[in-house]
Amino acid sequence: MAAPVFKNPVIRWIDHRLPIFSYLHHEAYEYPTPKNLSYWWNFGSLAGVMLMVMIATGLILAMQYTPHVDHAFNSVERIMRDVNYGWLLRYIHMNGASMFFIVVYIHIFRGLYYGSYKAPRELLWQLGVVIYLLMMATAFMGYVLPWGQMSFWGATVITNLFSAIPWVGDSIVTLLWGGFSVDNPTLNRLFVLHFLLPFVILAVVVLHIGALHRFGSNNPLGIDTKGPQDTIPFHPYYTVKDMFGLGVFFIFFAFWVFWAPNALGHPDNYIPANPLSTPEHIVPEWYYLPFYAILRSIPDKLMGVIAMGASIVILFFLPWLDRSPVRSGTFRPVFKWFFWILVFDCVILMFCGKYAPEAYWTPFTFEIVDAATFTERYAALAGLSHEAALNAVGEMWGVNFASGTFGIKIVRLGQLATIYYFAYFLIILPLLSIFETPKQVPLSISKPVLGGGRAAAHAAAKPMEKA
Amino acid sequence: MSASRVILGLLTLLAGLAAVAIVIANPVAHSEVHAGHWSFKGFFGTYDQAQLKRGHQIYANVCAGCHSMDLLAYRDLQEIGYTEDEVKEIAAAVQVMDGPNDAGEMFERAGRPSDRFKAPFANEQAARAANNGALPPDLTLIAKSRAGVGFLGYEGADYIHSLMTGYEETPPEGVTLGEGLYYNHAFKGHQIAMPPPLVDSPEAPLAQQAEDIAAFMSWASETNLDDRHRMGIKAILFLVIFTLIAYAAKRKVWAHLH
Amino acid sequence: MAQATHGGPAESGTRRDFLNLMTTSLAGFGALAVAWPMIHSLNPSKDVLALASVEVDLSAIEVGQAVTVKWRGKPVFIRRRTEEEIKQAEEVDLATLRDPQPDDVRVQKPEWLILVGVCTHLGCVPQGQKPAEPRGQYGGWFCPCHGSEYDTSGRIRRGPAPLNLEVPTYTFESDTLVKIG
């Protein structure tokens, strides 16, 4: 590719000595992109935009925040009340975290469905998992900073998990705390790390995009681009499409910021942290709920922590667990089912993470009831004594369809959902690689397939979606 | 769009809606909290300044005896319709601690608009000692911290209103009241250490007082609401126009490829 | 293939340029609309602005006495001048002053001299408020850092300072109450 000739002489002068403009022109302007990308491919750029939004608002907020246990809560309230537009910046940052995770989860599931993790994009996928882990750490630390009840107790619970590590666990926790409990030293260091990590994320994002540009984007058909007939330059096609996607996304974002700014959070975090009083239910932010459910599924503390960690670590190995030669779920009819079950499984895990493990979910009446109430109802409706009811309800679930008191313990539901989650990656995907008969894959993005399935021909004739 | 695409789209939407519903569901919702009518409810909601002033009067005359509102300053009252002079008067009516002076002593002086609301007790221990060991919580963020903020942010007002009107002189059958506790429908556990604070009268009906104090508490915890709703409407208008133009541009750019 | 039902390439080119221009301009406007709150948040916040004025009760200050109050983080000298000090200030020949200013433009009531107590040289706080402190030859204030001397109107008379001590904005709310700032 010949270097582009820039009209502006200043740009030419700089570019001759430091070819940054030529580089950007190649990577973001001419960059050949598959011409059939759907809107599921907008979420990567949305994630990049959200990272910028979080860094920008975070920097300004950090100028007004005080990372000391005696002043943190009040400094945040000062931002909300006295700083010009402080409430706006705070709510953008707070809801921006949720938006960032929504966008990234969709981006991840896009990758799972279309096989974007398969060769030669394994490292790209793994860098993405690293970004995700860094995001989880950053968000956790950020949530501690306002020093509300949930900030403090969430920090206590999560840092306490490290005590599960044999022999050195307690020492590690003391090291993390800088004391004998979560206190000022902890807050100070979490603030510094929360400030630092987004820039580490930025660096990994640069690597992530570098790895992407090595082989180019995947596409909904999952087949490689064969030449210029299959690609279009990134600018103006995908720049303008990303602009449109950005507009739609910002409308969604604006709704939360301006009309429901606290809906995704927890009210207890508006109570200043009190080490002597534990909230009734310690609940993490919604984007951790599935992992919280996995953690609580396993009665043993260490095994629970390992399971929770494994649920993310397993993603690093995905390219080798799923060896199907067909990338895209479009051509994998059995895989599709299991994929969608995984999606709903994650939603179920989120549900289980939110409620007390000992509570019962009664699906027919759509309620969450605590164990005592459930046993009472069961006894009354089944005509049993309280003791008999207790035995009947037992460990698993209470079943009495006739009187409609069917309920399942949240922890049990969570266990079932956890089993499916791990089974998907460790059993289902490897087995599908061997036993699934995929549909016929088209020869190329542009050319229609010769013969083959109706779906494949249909896909080739319509190379991309109409907006 | 093919049938399978529509189905997939609907499945995604379903998963998304289910996820949102799970997240915003309020696990501590009380069945005995009833929804009220609030001027600040809804997309175009704003506070009613007259109501907020009445609410402030209730706070100053009734609640301030036991409850602090540490995060509000007297100057903030200008936002609810008091003039600068009225605010100076309100502040000056209170004596606040200042110092040390050149002799090293703390002294009392008349309050200024820049002062925070004076707390009724010097510290937590004094507050507990005066209230049978119970600590009357600070009220600045009570509307956001107790009953949850729900979806559009007025569940706090509902809760406070229900709490104020939820007292029962005699508890229902089978319930024994602990010592120094009162029965309340809305309070979790139904036994609350605070005696019924509001008194019904023909000039100031209890229901109205409850509404006013709930509105004032909502304002105190979320002073930005009016600005936020106004800005939100401008933002959405701009974004909708931007998105439509961007969509037209996208269709134009992609026209020959379709 | 899609039919180009709307004119030839030239027309669709300009329409496309228009749409692109609109999109880019709107995006730029949006970016500015977002940037402004971020910049304005760095301006003084409401609690800082609330302390932008300070009211001082003058009733306890005797003739010849001086008081220092803190205003916007800086010291403000309030001196209740004696008849002699006022006369001294008014009789100075303006031609001899480095920063010529008659005394009457520097005070609202001759008895009350209100100045920002920051030396105009490099920002030290001059001495002369307390009875035991040196006032320099001109009866006003003496800055120990580099020897600037101010007179009974706070004007620079000797030493490296280029300007007279600054007179802040103030209003007499009553005979005994002054609001500074």
Q: Where are the domains of chain B?
A: 32-72+123-223, 77-115, 231-258
H-run or E-run covering B184? strand B182-184
In this prediction the pTM is 0.89
Q: Which amino acid is at B128?
A: R
pLDDT digits (tens, 9 = 90+) for B8-31: 778 888 888 888 777 766 554 445
CB contact, 8 Å: C174 with chain A? no
Contacts B75 to C, Cβ<8 Å: 46, 50
Query: Quick count: other Cβ atoms within 10 Å of Cβ B220?
Result: 25
**For A438-464, what is the mean pLDDT?**
61
Contacts C15 to B, Cβ<8 Å: 252
Contacts A240 to C, Cβ<8 Å: 20, 23
Give CA separation, A428 vs A319, A326, A329, A334, C27, in Å. 14, 15, 14, 10, 46
**Cβ-count burial of B59 within 10 angstroms (0-12 exposed, 13-18 middle, 19+ buried)?**
buried
Residue of B nearest to C18 (CA): B249
Assess if residue A278 is contained within a domain: yes
CB contact, 8 Å: C25 with chain B? no
Closest partner residue to C50 (CB to CB) among B75, B242, B249 is B75
Does one domain contain both C52 and C39? Answer: no
pLDDT at A128 over 90: yes
Distance in angstroms (rounded) separating the CA atoms of residues A256 and A196: 27
Pairwise CB contact (< 8 Å): A237 & B235: no
Query: Quick count: other Cβ atoms within 10 Å of Cβ A203?
Result: 11
| Min Cα–Cα distance to chain B from C13, Å | 9
Contacts of residue A363, defined as CB under 8 A and 6 or more positions apart, other chains included, come to A406, A407, A408
Does one domain contain both C56 and C23? Answer: no
Contacts of residue A359, defined as CB under 8 A and 6 or more positions apart, other chains included, come to A368, A369, A370, A371, A409, A410
CB contact, 8 Å: B120 with chain C? no
Pairwise CB contact (< 8 Å): B152 & A74: no
Does one domain contain both C124 and C71? Answer: yes
Give CA separation, A71 vs A65, A272, B5, B199, C50, in Å. 9, 10, 53, 37, 20
Does one domain contain both C78 and C149? Answer: yes
Pairwise CB contact (< 8 Å): B144 & A458: no
Could you tell me the pLDDT band of residue A450, with boundaries at 50, 70 and 90?
very low
Pairwise CB contact (< 8 Å): A85 & C27: no
List the CATH number of the domain containing C149: 2.102.10.10
- Tell me what percent of the residues of chain A surpass a pLDDT of 70: 91
Can you say whether the dihedral through the CA atoms of A241, A242, A243, A244 is positive or negative?
Answer: positive
| Min Cα–Cα distance to chain A from B149, Å | 6
pLDDT digits (tens, 9 = 90+) for A57-95: 999 999 999 999 999 999 999 999 999 999 999 999 999
| Min Cα–Cα distance to chain A from B258, Å | 7
Contacts B239 to C, Cβ<8 Å: 30
pLDDT on residue C13: 64
Closest partner residue to C41 (CB to CB) among A81, A86, A243 is A86
Q: Which of A60-74, A339-353, C49-63 comes out lowest in average pLDDT?
A: C49-63
pLDDT on residue B233: 96
In chain A, positions 83-112, which contact chain B (CB-CB < 8 Å)?
87-88, 91
- Tell me what percent of the residues of chain C surpass a pLDDT of 90: 70
Could you tell me the pLDDT band of residue A291, with boundaries at 50, 70 and 90?
very high
Distance in angstroms (rounded) separating the CA atoms of residues B223 and B218: 8
CB contact, 8 Å: C32 with chain A? no
Pairwise CB contact (< 8 Å): C33 & B238: yes
Does one domain contain both C67 and C151? Answer: yes
Q: Which amino acid is at A240?
A: V
Does one domain contain both C171 and C105? Answer: yes
Question: Which residue is associated with the tokens 């060991």?
Answer: B133
Pairwise CB contact (< 8 Å): A83 & C41: yes
Residue of C nearest to A88 (CA): C37
pLDDT on residue A421: 97
pLDDT at A252 over 90: yes
Interface test with B, best of C21, C26, C72, C179 (most B CBs within 10 A): C26
Distance in angstroms (rounded) separating the CA atoms of residues A409 and A401: 16
Give CA separation, A334 vs A329, A433, B124, in Å. 9, 11, 63
Contacts A350 to B, Cβ<8 Å: 19, 22-23
pLDDT at C1 over 50: no
pLDDT digits (tens, 9 = 90+) for A102-126: 999 999 999 999 999 999 999 999 9
Distance in angstroms (rounded) separating the CA atoms of residues A165 and C54: 59
Could you tell me the pLDDT band of residue C3, with boundaries at 50, 70 and 90?
very low
Overall domain count for chain A: 1
Interface test with A, best of B188, B224, B241, B244 (most A CBs within 10 A): B224
Chains that touch C (3 or more CB pairs under 8 A): A, B
Residue of A nearest to C30 (CA): A247
pLDDT on residue A462: 47
Chains that touch B (3 or more CB pairs under 8 A): A, C
Can you list the pairs that A47-51 forms with residues at least 24 positions away whose Cβ atoms lie under 8 Å? A47/A100, A47/A103, A47/A104, A47/A107, A48/A205, A49/A246, A50/A96, A50/A99, A50/A100, A50/A103, A51/A100, A51/A198, A51/A201, A51/A202, A51/A205
Pairwise CB contact (< 8 Å): C38 & A83: no
Count of CA atoms in the C-beta half-sphere (13 A) of B168: 14
Q: Is A182 strand, coil or helix? A: coil
Pairwise CB contact (< 8 Å): B114 & C22: no
Pairwise CB contact (< 8 Å): C30 & B238: yes
| Contact call for residues A323 and A430 (beta carbons, < 8 A) | yes
The DSSP secondary structure of C31-79, one letter per residue, reads HHHHHHHHHHTTSPPHHHHHTS-EEEE-TTPPTT-EEEEEETTEEEEEE
| CATH class of segment(s) B32-72+123-223 | mainly alpha
Residue of C nearest to B72 (CA): C47
pLDDT on residue A369: 78
**Cβ-count burial of B75 within 10 angstroms (0-12 exposed, 13-18 middle, 19+ buried)?**
buried
Residue A222 falls in which region: left (phi positive, over 0), alpha (psi -120 to 50) or beta: left
pLDDT at A459 over 60: no
Catalytic position from the list C6, C40, C121, C146: C146
List the CATH number of the domain containing A153: 1.20.810.10
Contacts A83 to C, Cβ<8 Å: 41, 45-46
Interface test with A, best of C16, C22, C24, C38 (most A CBs within 10 A): C38
Instruction: Dig out the tokens for B79 from the structure.
Output: 């936002």
Boundaries of domain holding C99: 48-180
Output phi, psi for A407, to 5 deg. -145, 150
Distance in angstroms (rounded) separating the CA atoms of residues A332 and A324: 9
Can you say whether the dihedral through the CA atoms of B34, B39, B45, B47 is positive or negative?
Answer: negative
Does one domain contain both C172 and C125? Answer: yes
pLDDT on residue C54: 86
Overall domain count for chain C: 2
Positions of A annotated as catalytic residues are 213, 217, 241-242, 285
Distance in angstroms (rounded) separating the CA atoms of residues A132 and A315: 11
Distance in angstroms (rounded) separating the CA atoms of residues A236 and A30: 9
Residue of B nearest to A232 (CA): B257
Computed over every residue of chain A, the mean pLDDT equals: 90
Does one domain contain both C117 and C38? Answer: no
Closest partner residue to C50 (CB to CB) among B114, B242, B252 is B114
pLDDT on residue C5: 44
Pairwise CB contact (< 8 Å): B245 & C23: yes
Q: Collect the ranges in chain B with pLDDT lower than 70.
A: 1-2, 24-35, 147-153
| Min Cα–Cα distance to chain C from A91, Å | 13
- Picking from A306, A308, A313, A299, the residue whose alpha carbon sits closest to that of residue A165 is A306
**For C121-128, what is the mean pLDDT?**
94
Pairwise CB contact (< 8 Å): A84 & C43: yes
pLDDT at A340 over 90: yes
